[in-house]
């Protein structure tokens, strides 16, 4: 029998880990510079937590049961878990709270037989407790800073406003609203044409679908619609956000009010960051504002505003691999310590520990015996180990450079 991980899962070998850590370490440095602190939440959650009040479909969750028949699941994303943690474990903290994570998530797919991935890695941030324009701008500029730290070019931001889009959908009959929403989300004009809508409503659906492109043009189109006061205020806030972003310099932006995300808890801005590749556009991350999500878990139902994003490590890996920016081999050891005979074991272990206690990171291997001197030297050459320390029983040592 050949033992393999289950369909949709995969093992990460040392080089895979080195490349994944290369990405995560650079992102973590950016998060630290912006004042964000790491949070780690449970991989396993109750189903009602993961569904976020219905905003996340049960069908996306890989489900489990414990001995008490309690419905559990593996997290399909991090925001709901962090929202639950914030209101149950961080009561009384001063806001805003700036949090970041590096973690795995699990998403059920229909193509089990095709071995489609079900486990993914993400790194992202959540900015909790601030509902203003500046918080939205901070998160988007932080996102841009992350991409710059990874030296990713040819990316652009697709920016929507979930609150505006949802309010524009309210004019459609309740029994057809989800179908209109899905057609717009998939840019499916044929589906809109086939829905039993009046010509006026069909035109309205097509107009929403076309609210995508240059920010000036899109804002002009949406402003021409019959907006009520809350809708107009949201559009004005979006205009201010776009102006702030574009004033920061070269911020590639497409405004898209037809943007509808899979996870339906966004109440304000929602966005995707996309990179053009030879194989087509690749989504590197997404996020948005969710001002009612924390209230789902708060004992008194208190809403605490939040905004954040997740970057997809596998997709970043694919882009960076094309540029050959990732490590191409695991880091070599700096030293190989060899006991010259059986009586030198104690001295060899002591010398290896002395090297490891260096102020700077030093990778030190012990030779485990069973090889002659030439085989030891060949091993060091094969592994690109810089120096060999030959240790005698009295502790005296001769150093050999392996060039």
Residue list for the binding site: 77-79, 122, 126, 265-266
What six digits make up the tokens of 304?
A: 């605490």
Owner of token pair 């080089």? 15
CA atoms within a 13 Å half-sphere pointing along the CA-CB vector of 43:
12
- The answer to whether residues 88 and 297 touch, using CB atoms and an 8 Å cutoff, is yes
355-to-204, 332, 391 alpha-carbon distances in Å: 71, 15, 13
217: left (phi over 0), alpha (psi -120 to 50) or beta: alpha
Q: Where are the beta strands (DSSP E) in 278-314?
A: 280-289, 306-312
Which distant-in-sequence residues (6+ apart) come within 8 Å of 86 by Cβ?
97, 99, 128, 294, 304
Neighbours of 73 (CB within 10 A): 24
Q: What are phi and psi of 206, to 5 degrees?
A: -65, -40
φ, ψ of residue 270 to 5 degrees: the values are -135, 150
Q: What is the CA radius of gyration of the chain?
A: 27
Pairing between strand 364-366 and 335-339? parallel
Enumerate residues 6+ apart whose C-beta is below 8 A from 122. Answer: 77, 78, 101, 102, 103, 104, 105, 310, 311, 312, 313
Task: Give φ, ψ of 86 to 5 degrees.
Answer: -60, -40
State the Cα–Cα distance between residues 1 and 165, nearest whole angstrom. 53
Say how far residue 243 (Cα) sits from the centre of its chain.
26
Within 10 A of 23 (CB to CB), how many other CB atoms are there? 23
As annotated, the binding site for L-histidine includes 77-79, 122, 126, 265-266
Question: In the block, which residue shows the tokens 């932080």?
Answer: 142
CA angle 126, 129, 130 (to 5 degrees): 95
């Amino acid at each position: 029998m050949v033992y393999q991980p289950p369909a949709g899962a995969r093992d990460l070998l040392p080089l895979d880990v080195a490349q994944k850590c290369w990405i995560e370490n650079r992102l973590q440095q950016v998060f630290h510079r912006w004042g964000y602190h790491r949070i780690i939440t449970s991989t396993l959650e109750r189903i009602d937590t993961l569904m976020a009040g219905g905003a996340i479909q049960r069908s996306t969750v890989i489900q489990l049961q414990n001995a008490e028949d309690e419905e559990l699941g593996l997290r399909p994303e991090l925001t709901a878990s962090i929202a639950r943690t914030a209101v149950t474990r961080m009561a009384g903290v001063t806001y805003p709270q700036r949090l970041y994570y590096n973690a795995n998530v699990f998403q059920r797919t229909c193509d089990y037989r095709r071995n489609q991935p079900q486990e993914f890695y993400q790194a992202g941030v959540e900015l909790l407790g601030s509902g203003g324009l500046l918080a939205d701008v901070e998160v988007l500029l932080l996102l841009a800073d992350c991409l710059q730290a990874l030296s990713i070019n040819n990316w652009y931001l697709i920016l929507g406003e979930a609150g505006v889009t949802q309010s524009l959908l309210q004019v459609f009959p309740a029994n057809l609203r989800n179908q209109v929403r899905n057609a717009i989300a998939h840019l499916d004009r044929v589906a809109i044409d086939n829905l039993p809508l009046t010509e006026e409503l069909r035109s309205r659906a097509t107009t929403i679908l076309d609210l995508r492109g240059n920010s000036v043009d899109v804002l002009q189109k949406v402003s021409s619609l019959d907006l009520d006061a809350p809708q107009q205020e949201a559009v004005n806030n979006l205009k201010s956000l776009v102006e702030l972003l574009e004033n920061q310099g070269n911020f590639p932006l497409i405004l898209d009010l037809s943007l509808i995300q899979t996870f339906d808890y966004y109440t304000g801005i929602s966005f995707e960051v996309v990179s053009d590749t030879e194989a087509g556009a690749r989504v590197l991350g997404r996020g948005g504002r969710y001002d009612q999500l924390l209230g789902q878990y708060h004992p008194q139902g208190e809403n605490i505003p939040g905004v954040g994003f997740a970057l997809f490590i596998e997709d970043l890996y694919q882009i960076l691999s094309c540029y050959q920016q990732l490590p191409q081999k695991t880091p070599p050891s700096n030293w190989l310590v060899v006991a010259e005979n059986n009586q030198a074991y104690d001295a060899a272990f002591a010398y290896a520990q002395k090297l490891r206690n260096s102020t700077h990171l030093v990778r030190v291997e012990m030779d485990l015996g069973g090889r002659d001197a030439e085989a030891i030297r060949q091993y060091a050459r094969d592994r690109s180990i810089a120096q060999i320390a030959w240790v005698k029983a009295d502790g005296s040592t001769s150093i050999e450079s392996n060039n």
